[in-house]
Structure 1
Amino acid sequence: MIHRLALMLAVLLCLGACQDEPGGGYTGGASPILFEVADADGETKAWLFGTIHSLPDDTEWRTDKLDEAIGNADSLIVEIAALEDSAALFDIYRRLSVTPGQPDIGLKVTADRRPALFSLIDEAGYRPRDFQSLETWAVALNLAQVFDTGEPENGADRAMIHAFKGRPIHEFEGVEKQLGIFDQLPEKEQQDLLAAVVEEADTRSADPARLQRAWLSGDIKVLEEATTEGMLADPELRQALLVDRNRDWLSQLIKRLDQGQRPLVAVGAAHLVGPDGLPALLERQGYTVSRVQ
């Protein structure tokens, strides 16, 4: 479990679920979404690349356009930079997630959802008592990984970090801030999160490779749909998990652009689509954002 903690948020945002077979039957050329950001004078200021945080072995997704952007950027910005420090990640997770004396896990969902919850717990290889000291959000994060059979070591975010070795790498959040988003949710919203994970189990099991195919092909329509489904259909959860974070990232990014940096921003693809995505937010600030892949 430790090595998967850094991708939990992506799993919950529905962009981390992958299959043992690369692409789940996808046979087209890979074209994950990539944007170029220019100022009012037409000068390129940054690139935005939508990542996926877990992939099966041997998935081919690097392209000439992306490699060109990597070569032209002077720095990288990711959600979490220290993805390979498993011990530190686990220490933060344990400190935030463990609170002794939690109510029985079955009491954290409505009675009609309990059979599905206990079935999901069993499928995940846990027992209900394994969660007796975990806060509700942490239970949800653990159970959300049931259908993730890709490997974090193959994630596009890690590959980008390796590609920028020797150049500046910055992070928008870091693992403590990212997991802290969940830890700070009111208990009601944490229970809504758990309920959404339980309800999504059937949908994801029916076609768990749907979003991976969309990521590989750069299908913005499907990716945008994912930002309004499941737990992100809940207004409070969507605000906390997507909208507020994008606005925070926008503020950080503009400060770096004002300093003359030309970064490549590599974050979960859900953050680059729709009216609340980074491209739309940048356009409202006067930048021109063009899709180049």
Structure 2
Amino acid sequence: MIARLLLFVWALLALAACQKAPTPAAEPDALPAIWEIAGADGEAEGWLFGTVHALPDDVPWRSARLERLLAQADTLVVEVAALDDADELGRTFTALAYDTPGPALAERVEPALRPRFEELLAQARMRRGQFDAMESWAAALSLAQVAQVGSVENGVDKALLRDFTGYDVVELEGAQAQLAIFDRLPENAQRELLNSVIEESGDAETQAKRLVESWRSGDLAGIKQLTNGGMLEDGELYEALLARRNRAWADRLEKLLSAPARPFVAVGAGHMVGPDGLPTLLEARGYTVRRVQ
């Protein structure tokens, strides 16, 4: 679950900002996937790049091809653009997280998971009352941040935003809209999210290693397995966190691709795979989408 959140949600994870990560000098042997989007004339109109929102130090992912494509792009397209404004992200989260609190959080956690919940609560160094006042989705994301392996400062999206300083950046959702997706979930789905985060937190390091290796090596089958497993086997959550967002993004990208400026689209890698992935949705709209890395 922690790994899956790194493929799908930026806004809360971005609250943990710190220092700038070093850029590795050597190009890795295996590389993350990049797709070219071409129009009817066969000319490239943009590119898709699946990202991971937090990485351990010194994970190599840049390549000569990536740098060439970034140089050709006119616009960077990301999920959330204002990743350095932690104060605003915090205010946005607080405004949504506490407006409809439920019973004490421990009562919303499955009995078998309560010992692990108590461990995470101790690691969070937050007063129990702060968690008790949160909606279930907000507590889930907060606990996921506690168990997170890797740093958002090493996140690919954040590095690309630094590359595009002074250039056009398009935001597909923004923090308010992204967190509102969770806020609108029915309580039963929020509790499913909460309990999944707690259950899988003990294995967060193993999950993170699998995620990073699948993404770094361009293993789409591995990414798809992470995408479709666990909580996202629930149809309601799959629709809310992946499918519905991808359809909205594809509509937005179609408009961007019709303009002269060529976009480089960098969003969570989980949005790139399967029948509801962006490459498939754009192909259905008449574009030729081919993997170029």
1:95 maps to a residue whose letter is A
What is residue 177 of structure 2 aligned with on the other side? 177
TM-score, normalised with respect to structure 1: 0.87
How far residue 200 of structure 1 moved from its aligned partner, in angstroms, is 1.8
- Confirm or deny: 8 A CA contact 1:118 1:128 kept in the other structure: no
Measured after TM superposition, the shift of residue 132 of structure 1 is 1.7
- Is 1:46 aligned to residue 46 of structure 2? yes
* Whole-angstrom distance in 2 between the partners of 1:71 and 1:206: 35
Q: Tell me the equivalent position of 1:139.
A: 139
What is the aligned-residue RMSD (CA, Å)?
2.5
| 1:133-212 → structure 2 map (5 Å cutoff) | 133-212=133-212
CA distance in 1, matches of 2:76, 2:285: 21
**Tell me, which stretches of 5 or more residues in structure 1 are unaligned?**
1-6, 17-21
**Cα separation, 2, equivalents of 1:191 and 1:149:** 23
Structure 2: distance between partners of 1:206 and 1:150: 12
| Cross-structure match for 1:237 | 237
**Which moved further from structure 2: 202-211 or 58-67?**
202-211
Aligned pair in 2 of structure 1 residues 233, 13: CA closer, same or farther (>3 Å)? farther
The residue type paired with residue 39 of structure 2 is D
1:122 Cα deviation after fit: 3.2
User: Partners in 1 of 2:192 and 2:48 — Cα distance?
Assistant: 31
The alignment's TM-score, normalised by the length of structure 2, stands at: 0.87
- 1:285 CA displacement: 1.1
5+ residue gaps, structure 2: 14-21
Q: Does 1:226 align with 2:217?
A: no
Aligned pairs (5 A) from 1:264-279: 264-279=264-279
Contact 1:8 1:145 in 2 (8 A): no
1:11 match: 6
**C-alpha separation in 2, matches of 1:208 and 1:124:** 19
Q: 1:254-283: CA deviations, max 9, x gaps? A: 011123331000001111111111001111
Question: What is aligned with 2:86?
Answer: 86
- String of CA shifts for 1:177-213, please: whole Å, max 9, x gaps: 0011011111111111111112222443445311011
- Kindly state the Cα deviation for residue 149 of structure 1 after the two structures are TM-superposed: 3.1
1:97 maps to 2:97: yes
* Moved beyond 6 Å, runs of 4+: none
User: Which secondary structure does the structure 1 equivalent of 2:208 belong to?
Assistant: coil
Identical columns (%): 45
* Per-residue CA distance 1:198-233 (angstroms, 9 max, x = gap): 222244344531101111111111001111112212
- Is this contact kept in 2: 1:117–1:198, CA < 8 A? yes
CA distance in 1 between counterparts of 2:162 and 2:7 reads 25
Amino acid at match of 1:263: P
Q: 1:280: which partner in 2?
A: 280
Number of residues of Structure 1 aligned to a counterpart in Structure 2: 278
SS in 1 for 2:228: coil
Instruction: Report the alpha carbon displacement of residue 134 of structure 1 after superposing the two structures with TM.
Output: 0.9
Counterpart Cα distance in 1 of 2:98 and 2:108: 16
Amino acid at match of 2:222: V
